[in-house]
Amino acid sequence: MPALADSSQPFGYRPFEGGDFDAVTDMCARAWYKSVEGVYDRIIFGRVLTAGALRRSSIMQVATKGDRVVGACFGGVCLDGVLEKNDKWKRSFEDTMAIARKRAKLGGIAVEERLFSKLRMFTVADVFISRGFTNSQAEFNLLVVHPLFQRQGIGQTLFDAMLAAFVDAGAQGCFGVVDDDFDSEFMRKHGLSVVESRRGAAGDSGRRTVSLLARRL
C-alpha cells in the first residue's frame, strides 16, 4: 500500500490513464467489498467492477493527491439510444471476466451473485438507454472515492466535471444505476430523481435493492 500523500498537497484532477487501473480497483475493493473475505477475492471483485465500467465509458477522470489516485469517475454518452462500448478495454474486460467466472464456479452461488451483481446493473441501464428517453443520453458508470479521502469534496468535483462533460457532448439528460452499497442520497442531492427501484434486478435472489436515478441537464 502506498504511503499517504502529504496532507498539505492539493487535490488534482486529470483524465484516467491505463496505469491507474490498479488504483481504481483498490478503491472499489475498499469502498464496496471490505466485507468480502480474502484479499484476492476483494481484488477480483474490484477488477470486475472497474473493467466493466471502463468498457462502457468514453469519459474517465481521476482525482489525485500527489502521485496517488484517490478518486475516479467514469461515464458514457449514448445520444442515439445505444451506448458505444470502449473497445480499448474490451480485452482487459474479457480477461478479467474469465478469471472471475473461475472464481465464481469455485465459490458457489453466494460468491457468483455478489461478484457479478454490479455488472448485472448495467443490464438495467441498457434497457433504459434503449427506450430513447432524454434522460438516458448519458450514464454514470462509476463514482468512487478512497475511504481515507471521503468528505473532502472530491466526489462533488468529479461529479460536476462529469456533468459538464455530458453537456459538452450534447447530452440533454443523464442517469445512474446504483445498489445498496452506493450512497444514492448523494445523487438525489445533485438533482437525480428515482425513476425505478426494485429488488432482484442484480440477480441476487431479491436481497438487494437496485435504483435507477435520472435528471435533465
Enumerate the domain spans of the chain. Answer: 11-216
The values of phi and psi at residue 59, to 5°, are -120, 120
Instruction: Write down the pLDDT at residue 82.
Output: 86
Instruction: Write down the pLDDT at residue 147.
Output: 93
Instruction: Write down the pLDDT at residue 27.
Output: 95
Topology of the domain comprising 11-216: Aminopeptidase (3.40.630)
Q: Which of 49, 42, 181 is nearest to 111 (CA)?
A: 42
pLDDT means over runs of 10, the chain (217 residues): 55 97 94 78 87 96 97 95 91 90 72 72 92 95 95 96 97 92 85 87 62 95
Residue whose C-alpha cell is 449514448: 78
Instruction: Write down the pLDDT at residue 1.
Output: 38
Q: Which of 142, 55, 43, 40 is nearest to 93 (CA)?
A: 55
The whole-angstrom separation of Cα 84 and Cα 67 is 31
Determine if the pTM surpasses 0.85: yes
Instruction: Write down the pLDDT at residue 107.
Output: 63
The Cβ-side half-sphere exposure at 119, using a 13 Å CA radius, reads 21
Instruction: Write down the pLDDT at residue 207.
Output: 67
CB under 8 A, 24+ apart: contacts of 6-10: 6/66, 9/65, 9/66, 10/65
The whole-angstrom separation of Cα 24 and Cα 73 is 10
